[in-house]
Structure 1
C-alpha cells in the first residue's frame, strides 16, 4: 500500500504542476516530494507524470489514477471528520454545483436557511449551466435536471419527476395574444436555450394518450437559463422552463403559464455524486433539505 503522504504529494503535484509548489504546501523539501513520487511510481510500475526541464503533466495512466486517489483521500478525510464531530453538529466543506437560474433565484435563499441550521458547514457554490465534470472538478455534488448521461454517477433523487411549463409575461400575451393550443407556439416568439451550442427548439407536451413535439422559433438565444427567464419577464417571448425556476414568478403574477391542460416534458431532478463513498452525512442532510423545499414549491 502507498502511504497517505505519497498520495497527497501526487495530488498536490497534479493540481499545481510543480513539485516545488506541492512541497511548500505540505512543508516538505522538493527533494523529499520528488522521492515520494518516484516511490509511488515504482510501486505501481507506471509513469504517473511526464516530466521535462520546463513542464510536468499527467500521463493518461496518471489521470485515471488521480480520480481514484481523490476519492480515497476524500473518504479518509470524511471518516476522520466523522470521528472528530461525533455527537456534535455537522461541519466541513460542501462543494455544490447548480443550474444558474435555479441556483441564483431559488437555491441561494434556501442555502441561507440551511446554513443557519448547520452553521459549521462551509458552503462552496458553483453556478453554471455547463455541467461540471464531477470526476475532475472540485465539486462534491451537482444538482441537475434530467437523466444522468453518465451511468457511473450516483443519483440521489430530489424530485422523481419535474415538468417544464410554457410561460410568458402578461405584457407579451396582451400584445401578441394568448395561444390556446401548443401547436400555436409556431406563431409566437420562443426564447431559446442553447444546449451544447445548439438551440433546444423542440418542445414536448402530452395529454392523456396524446403527445406533441412542437418545433419553435425565435430571435432570442442564450446558454444561460436565467437569461431566458429574464427575457420572458421583459416580455420578449414565450419560455419553456422548469417549474421550479418560475414558480415564484407565476405565483407573483409576473409570468403566466400556458396550456395548463397539457403536461410539459417531465424529467427527474437529482443530486449527483461521482462515487458512493462521497455520499457523506453532509450530502444526505442536504438531500433531505432540498427534497422538502422542492416538494413544497412543486405542484
Structure 2
C-alpha cells in the first residue's frame, strides 16, 4: 500500500484548490505534531491555520509577476501523527517524503513543530543541503532528557552527515556555542542582517548551493521578529522582517522541498505571514 494512502488524511485545501497527484509539480502535506513542545503549545494546529490563511490572500506575486494559482500543487492532507511518539511520527514523515522524492515531486510540508524537519531530511536523503531559517540553532545534545526534540533536531541531522547553513539565528546556549566553535559552523545571525543587509546571507547561500545538487529549506517562523509573527512555539525578539526573509529566499536554488513550521493557533497574523512566504516561494522555485 502507498504510504500516501496509509498515513495521510484530507484536510482543508491550500489556496482552496488542488490538482491531481500525477499532474502536480508540488505535493503539499501537513504534520500536526507538537509532542516535544516546551513553551507555547499549539503548533499541531499550524497546518489548519496556514491553509485557512492561504485562502484569504491574493495569489499573484508582484515580486515575480507570477500567479501561485498557475503552479501545479496537490494538497495531500495531513499525516496521521502518532500522539506522544516523535520517532514513529518522524518515520511516517520520512516514508511519505521518500515516496514524493521517488515520484519526482517537490515537497511542501506544513508544521507542526520543527522536529518534523528531521523526518523530511531523512526522506530526501542525507546528501541534501539544508538551509535552516531559525532564531535558534537547535543543536543541543539533548533537552529535558529528550534526544529528539525541537531543540535537538539539527544536532541529530549533523550526526547523520547532513550539511547545514543557518540564517537568522539570535538565540544560543553555551553548549551550542562550544559545539559550533569546534565545527567552524556555517551561519548568519539576525544581527548581521540588521546591520549589514542581506548580502552576507545571500553570499553564504550561493556558496553553499554551489557545493550541493539538491537543497531543502526549513523555515521556523520564529526566525521572524515576533512583532510580525507572534504566534510561534518559542518567540525570540530582534528577528528578521518578512520582507527580509523573502528577499533572501528569492536567492535559493536547486530546491527539492521546503517546510514552514512552528505556527501556533494563537492569532492569525503569523499564519498569514507563513502563507505569504509559501506563496512567494511557489512563484520563485524553478519547477524543472
Q: TM-score, structure 2 length as denominator?
A: 0.28
Q: Tell me which protein shows more strand as a share of its residues.
A: 1
- Indicate the structure (1 or 2) with the bigger Cα radius of gyration: 1
Q: Tell me which protein shows more helix as a share of its residues.
A: 1
Q: TM-score, structure 1 length as denominator?
A: 0.27
